[in-house]
Amino acid sequence: MSTTNGQDPTKLSRSVRERLQLAIQVKQERAWNDKCGADPLYWLMHHTKTRDDHWRQKNSAPYAKFPPLPYMPWLFEGLRSDRRLFIPKSRDMMVSWAVMGYLTWLAQWYGPCHILVQTQREDKAKDLVSGKDVPGYVRTLYEQQDDFLKILHPTPRPPSEMAGLEFTWTNGSRIQGLPSGAEQVRLYHPYCVFFDEAVYLDDFLGSYGAAEPVATQIIAVSSAGPSDFGDIVLRIMDSQK
């Protein structure tokens, strides 16, 4: 049996169903993209994965969803609202992952923006951005997110071909890693600067001073230890008593 124009009605209805299913899928993916763009923690917990360097010891998968830690909503509220944020931490709190997740989200959904990530050593800066042999934090979050998000937020070249200290998007955003030193920061006028493990940075105050007049947002994270970072945190805590 065929229609008046010679088309098989069974095949036509199947084609219509497929187009409807595709339209529904696209609509759902757009809704998820909008929800991710409105909430970085939602994106981290539901639509991408982090790298677990201890997966062999735990006999688990090498990549996992961001865990529902009770302090993360409070932390992300600060990341999204505070222009200057100092975060003391202890090990295994996933604070560096959280900050890099926030910065990746910011670059991906709200570009173009230039973000600097400074650590004590260049190899650690690479690990937070694109990485070398092992994908870095930013590259992991990008590659492990849902495929439709990678389509909606493309990169100018495959992430595996990017330099270890840099990750870029087609929207003009760039996350760039730097080793310690105030002179490294003075070369740029970034939207945001992130100092990781600020206790160990050579001349942290100099780097902060270079970023202060030009950066819209500055985030500093570190574990405990006698340092300029620790002194600033203590003064802030004392002022709030």
- Predicted TM-score (pTM) of this structure: 0.90
- Residue 224's pLDDT is 74
Considering Cα of 120, then 73, then 51, then 26, what sign does the dihedral take? negative
How far CA 39 is from CA of 75, 144, 186, in Å, comes to 13, 18, 32
Helix axes 228-239, 204-211, angle to 10 degrees: 60
- What mean pLDDT is reported for the chain? 91
Nearest to 197 by CA among 102, 103, 88: 88
Tens digit of each residue's pLDDT (9 = 90 or more) over 16-52: 878 888 888 899 999 999 999 999 999 999 999 999 8
Range 200-211 average pLDDT: 95
Whether residue 104 is predicted with pLDDT greater than 80 in this model: the reply is yes
- Residue 237's pLDDT is 79
- Residue 6's pLDDT is 55
Whether residue 54 is predicted with pLDDT greater than 60 in this model: the reply is yes
- Residue 233's pLDDT is 85
- Residue 235's pLDDT is 85
Whether residue 154 is predicted with pLDDT greater than 80 in this model: the reply is yes
Query: Which domains, from first to last, does the chain contain?
Result: 68-239 (3.40.50.300)
Range 59-71 average pLDDT: 91
Whether residue 58 is predicted with pLDDT greater than 90 in this model: the reply is no
Whether residue 63 is predicted with pLDDT greater than 50 in this model: the reply is yes
- Residue 86's pLDDT is 95
